Each structure stands twice: as C-alpha cells, then as structure tokens.
Amino acid sequence: AENLLEVKNLKKYFPVKAGVFKRTVAHVKAVDDISFAVEEGETLGLVGESGCGKSTTGRTILRLLEATEGKVIFDGKNVMDLDKKEMRAIRRDMQIIFQDPYASLNPRMTVADIVGEPLDIHNLAKNKQERNEKVKEILENVGLGEEYMNRYPHEFSGGQRQRIGVARALAVDPKLIIADEPVSALDVSVQAQVVNLLQDLQKEYGLTYLFIAHDLSVVKHISDRVAVMYLGKIVELTDKKELFKNPMHPYTQSLLSAIPEADPKKKKDRIVLEGDVPSPVDPPSGCRFHPRCPKAFEPCPVKEPEFKEYGDGHFAACHLLDK
C-alpha cells in the first residue's frame, strides 16, 4: 500500500521562558527529529512513557501545534506549507480522538450537536434534518442508539463518552485518525470494547490509524507496526509480531518485560529501569537512554546511535546492534 502519512525529521521544541523579561532560556525538546510513515489502511502504534513526545507528535501532525522543523506529507501534500483554507480542507481527512473523552466534549452541547458540529463546519449536510439523519447513522455505527441524541455528555459512562468522541471524529468520513491514548482513561473492562470498536470501524470505513499508547499491551491487539519513543526520539520501529518476538532496543525489551505473561513457560525476567525519565530540556548526551540502560557501554554517553534498518523493515537506534 501507499503511504498516506509521512513524517520527516519532525521537531517540536517548546521555549522555556524565565526572568522579568520572559526571555527564552532553554527549550523542551519534546519531539527531536523523528521520521516514520503510515501506510494506507494500516495501524501504526506509537508507544512510550508519558512525556516522551507521543501526544506532541500527534498534535504537530495535525498542526494543532506548529512544528519547529520537519515535514508532514499527507496524501502527497506537505501539511506544513498549507494556508488556512487548504488546512481546513485537509482537517476533514485527518481527525483526532483524545484521551479524556469528558474534557474533549463540550458539556453544554447535546450529543447530536457534538457529533453534528464537524458536519456543519465542513458543510456536509444541506439542513438540520439531513445532519441529524447522518448523526443518527454514525451513532448507530459506534453502538449508540438514536435515543441518545438529545442527551448531554455527563449522562454517559466513560466508555460511552469515548464512543461519542469516536463518532465525532468519524462524522466527516476522514482518511486518518490519530487516536491519542483513546482507552487510557477507561476502565480495563471497557478498554477492549473500545479497541474492538475502532478495529471494526477501520474495516468498515477503510481508516488509517496512528494509535498512541503508553503501554505495549494496548497496541499489541490493534497495531500492524509499532514505533517506540523515548525522550523525543523513536528508538525502534517494526512489524508488531517482530517487535514482540525480537525486540532489539534495550528500552523496548524493558517495556516488554513489564507486560504480565499468563503462560509460565513464556515468563521472562522483569527488567526494571533505574531512575525516572530525564528532563527533555537538557536530554542526556550520546544515547538519551544511557543513564537508565542496563546494557550501556563505552560509546553510549558520547555518541548518539543512528536510527537504521537491521532486518527487513526493522529499525532501531542502539550501538549494541553494530557490535
């Protein structure tokens, strides 16, 4: 399949201001030179601990945040070059689902208006009646009946609210959905339902997903490929099965070791990382993971490992792999 989305050398730095004159004294390097592509129809999982830059990546792709550097090619166009009008047209094709369905839904709007608003913005219905017909259909597709149309967000459970968020994203018939930790705020019992719903909708609507999560066990089910982020960088990217079978990067190995394994034969030792994720304001030299890496050796604190291909479509950045 063709690439629907290509992210090239993307950087997003946030200025840190201080003093009476609010001068910029440093930068938070939230996303620091990452590249990846998402093929049409696939799901790319983007995984890492909180603060590693996953959400910033998603928002920068959509230009909810302006990139510091880099390109985002969507459907053959560099999104960074588009003016307001062109951007509005492309927003129809790129939608986002947020982590906290409650915070992202206007409490004073009915479900019909929340889901119907994007249809109004993009002039996709002739009149209110046609709009509400469409809303009804979309709500049914996400497992909510017509009887919910005139209710308000607070009347719903977390899982139902996320279904409303999904319906709103889906209303304009997008090509790409960036799902930013769509199940992290939900009860474990509800998470699988929402993930299954997203998978069903992907087939039905031919959607492409960038699925952001802090946990590999969430993306295990839904992803075709997985990219692992650490402190603003992608450290490993490959096919999902390959990643779970043959993780190359020590950080990925530690994330995998934290997933509970039911089968005692497959049980592996938990790799516990020391220390917290360092600040992205002044990230560690060389390999950013070196202060916490159980396998760090001489070059790691001084030389940054290159992100390159070590097997068919298996990319990683670690000096060990060149040994």
Question: Residue 157 Cβ, how far from ligand SF4 at the closest point, in Å?
Answer: 41
Residue 89 or 302: the one with the smaller Cβ distance to ligand SF4 is: 302
Residue 98 or 307: the one with the smaller Cβ distance to ligand SF4 is: 307
- Residue 301 CA to residue 293 CA, distance in Å, equals 11
Q: Which helix (H) or strand (E) holds 26?
A: strand 23-39
Residue 80 or 320: the one with the smaller Cβ distance to ligand SF4 is: 320
- Number of residue whose CB is nearest Mg ion: 55
- Count of helices and strands (H, E) across the chain: 10, 12
73 binds, among Mg ion, ligand SF4, none (CB under 5 to 8 A by kind): none
- Residue 197 CA to residue 230 CA, distance in Å, equals 29
* Nearest in space to 155 (alpha carbons), one of 193, 188, 109: 109
Question: Residue 289 Cβ, how far from ligand SF4 at the closest point, in Å?
Answer: 5
Residue 141 or 253: the one with the smaller Cβ distance to ligand SF4 is: 253
300 binds, among ligand SF4, Mg ion, none (CB under 5 to 8 A by kind): ligand SF4
Question: Residue 214 Cβ, how far from Mg ion at the closest point, in Å?
Answer: 8
Q: Is 60 in the site for Mg ion (CB under 5 A)?
A: no
Backbone phi, psi, residue 18, to 5°: -150, 160
Intra-chain end-to-end CA distance of the chain, in Å: 34
> Starting at the edge strand that comes first in sequence, how are the strands of the sheet with 77-78 ordered?
23-39, 3-18, 69-74, 77-78
* Nearest in space to 93 (alpha carbons), one of 227, 211, 205, 2: 205
Question: Residue 216 Cβ, how far from ligand SF4 at the closest point, in Å?
Answer: 17
Q: Which residues contribute to the site for ligand SF4 (CB under 6 A)?
A: 249-250, 287, 289-290, 293, 295-296, 300, 305, 318-320
Question: Residue 246 Cβ, how far from Mg ion at the closest point, in Å?
Answer: 28
55 binds, among ligand SF4, Mg ion, none (CB under 5 to 8 A by kind): Mg ion
- Residue 280 CA to residue 61 CA, distance in Å, equals 20
Q: Is 55 in the site for Mg ion (CB under 5 A)?
A: yes
**Residues of this chain that bind Mg ion (CB under 5 A):** 55
